[in-house]
Every structure is written in C-alpha cells, then in structure tokens.
Homo-oligomer: A and B are copies of this chain.
Amino acid sequence: MRRIGMLTSGGDCQALNATMRGVAKVLYNKLDDVEILGFMDGYRGLMHNDYRVMRPSDFSGILTMGGTILGSSRQPFKKMRVIEADGLDKVAAMKKTYRELGLECLVILGGNGSQKTANLLMEEGMNVVSLPKTIDNDIYGTDMTFGFQSAADIATNAIDCIHTTAASHGRVFIVEVMGHKVGWLTLHAGIAGGADIILLPEIPYDLDCVLAAIERRHKAGKRFSILAVAEGAISKEDAQLSKKEYNKKIASSPYPSISYELGAKIEEAIGREVRITVPGHTQRGGGPDPYDRFISSRLGAAAGRLVVERKYGRMVAFDGFEVVNVSLNSVAGKLKYVDPKGAAIQEAKDMGICFGDE
C-alpha cells in the first residue's frame, strides 16, 4: 500500500478543497492500494502527528466548498530551524512523523512560505509534490495560482459596489485590496473594476501624481474617482527608507493601514471627503469561482499524476494555459512581481489609468 500525506498550509484561500479533490480523485482512480492521510492545520499537524485517514467520500462534494477541510495555519519558514521554547525541533518532529507513518510522499498546498518549507523538507529527505496556493499570485515559476481569480472577483465586486455609491454621491473612494507585497490582485481587480487610479507595491507612487489625476477627473466633470490601492502600496518617499526604518514608521503610524494614511492626505489636499473601504479577509473566503475550480482541478490532477509516477520534488504550475511542473528548489523562496514595464501596465496607462508614477 502507498501511503500519501496531504496538508494545506498558510493563509486559506478558495479552491483548496477543489485542488485536494483533484489530487485524491487521481490517486484513488489510478492506484489500486493507496491511503491518504490528511494532516490537520498544515505543518502543525505534521509536526505533532495530528492527522486523519481520509476516505474517498471525504473528497466528495467539496469542489465548490471554500476554506480547507484539513484546516490550515501560518508557519513561517524563517522560524523552521529554530528549536521551540518547549524544546521541539520542528523539522526533526516532521521527519519523525513522516518516517513513523511510513509516508511515501507529502502533497503540500501552500503559498510562498509554505513552498520554502516544502523545499526544506525535500532537502531533509522527504518526498514532496507541491501546489501553488495563494490569492496573491506571487509564486515564482507559475503564471497562475489557484485562489487568485476568486479573490479578484471579490475585490472587483467590492469596487463595483463602491462605484455606484461613489457615482451617486460624487466622492473619492479608496478600495484597499489584498496581495501582500505584490500587486497582482490590485492590478486585476483595479482594471476589472474600472478604477481610475491603481497603486501597486511594484510602482512607488508620488502623491502629487495621484492628486493631479483626481483633479483632472474633477475638472473634466467626473463626479467621482476610485482608487484601487494594494495593501502593500508604498510612496516614493517611503520606498527610499530601509526596511527597518519603514517598519518603524508603520508601527508608529496612527492609521490602521496605508489606505487610511493616503486617504487623509488626499482629503487634506483636495478639501473633499475621501472614503475608505477594506474588503479584508472576505477576499480569501467563500467558494472558488468556476475559473479556479477548473484550474485547481487541473493542477490537482497533475499533482496526483506526479505522485502516481513517483516524480517528486516538483511543483505543478501553469505555463500560459498549459499545466507543467517545475523543480521545487528552483522556485522556493522567490517572489513573482508585477513588471512595471510590462504590457498589462502599459495597456492600462494607455487607457488613462494612473499608477501614481507619471
């Protein structure tokens, strides 16, 4: 019998269940004798030998279900090597579980941090197949991650809702979009939602450019302006700071987030009310959209095939519309950024969207 471990790690997102279903369907379909162990709450379950034996029926009906049936937890890589206060050597503990249970491999669904950990486990001698999970779409080595489009839908819908109220009342509105250190989600939601100004971490903004864009619209008789602002957006001044200085500045800021600070500055400059909306955690919640259900089924199935064929140390990925797989150690620890000079940005600028840099 082949015994396969499975876990979901990091912030939850849509299509985690759909992806696991894809993996499981292939394993049950192609292997005569297989057992899937699901570790609870990501690497925590692997560390503490907390798992349940999955049955085929556990994967039924979960294609459309949000969240993860296995639970998840954030387990930052940087602390992986550290011995915990209670004396636990995390990596050793995971290795022990892996060995004792006689696992043949681990199927790991995770974002950037989790991919790094997956790579570390591989280096420690465990077999790993990983899948690119994140609403941020920032995983190096794949053109698309599952969860991203569903999150983009929610962020876009938030902008849509704000659009009608902004238009009715003639207001400046900021919608703060998730995405961590990268701008993919804001870029897609901003364009799809018809935002007038889009601020991304990859393109530090100049407040004067932003104000000028708002004033241009105002003078052209447009009643409102909508800004899609990434939670990681940064001004040109702040981009000059060292990471330490910047973190210090943020820590002492009276504003809950960058959007509130920006909003206050705009309000002061233009003398008109600016409203802030933060869809927040709703962006990673709810069920996956049909796009994500399609791509996650494909990624899951491709990962299942890798397990069947014992091709380990790989992350399944999209190269354009094709599912491929890449070596885990070539991608772990690298971020995929929006290219400020890329075609998407250029097209958006051609349409008159302001990115705060010119």
Chain A interface (Cβ < 8 Å from any Cβ of B): 8, 11-12, 14, 16, 22, 25-26, 28-30, 41, 63-68, 71-73, 143-144, 149, 152-154, 156-158, 160-165, 167-170, 173, 188-189, 191-194, 223, 256, 275-287, 289-291, 293-294, 297-298, 301-302, 304-305, 319-323, 343-344, 347-348, 350-352
User: How many whole Å from A347's CB to the nearest CB in chain B?
Assistant: 4
User: How many whole Å from A305's CB to the nearest CB in chain B?
Assistant: 6
Which residue among A285, A291, A321 has the maximum number of chain B CB atoms within 10 Å of its CB? A285
A275 and B281 contact, Cβ closer than 8 Å, known pairs A22-B351, A144-B321? yes
Q: Could you write out 11 A-B pairs with CB less than 8 Å apart?
A: A22-B347, A67-B164, A152-B291, A153-B289, A154-B161, A164-B286, A188-B294, A192-B297, A193-B293, A277-B282, A301-B350
- Cβ contact of A279, chosen from B282, B343, B352, cutoff 8 A: B282
Question: What is the total number of copies of this protein in its complex?
Answer: 4
What are the residues of chain B within 8 A of A286 when measuring CB–CB?
A: 157, 160-161, 164
- The reply to whether B350 and A290 form a contact with Cβ atoms under 8 Å apart is no
What are the residues of chain B within 8 A of A26 when measuring CB–CB?
A: 347, 350-351
Bound CA–CA A170/B45 (angstroms)? 14
Q: Write the chain B residue with the least CB distance to A158.
A: B282
- The reply to whether B293 and A192 form a contact with Cβ atoms under 8 Å apart is yes
What are the residues of chain B within 8 A of A284 when measuring CB–CB?
A: 161, 165
A29 and B351 contact, Cβ closer than 8 Å, known pairs A67-B165, A161-B281, A191-B294? yes
Q: Write the chain B residue with the least CB distance to A64.
A: B160
What 8 pairs between A and B have smallest CB-CB spacing?
Answer: A320-B320, A161-B285, A66-B164, A67-B164, A301-B347, A12-B168, A156-B290, A161-B282
What are the residues of chain B within 8 A of A66 when measuring CB–CB?
A: 160-161, 163-165
Bound CA–CA A11/B169 (angstroms)? 8
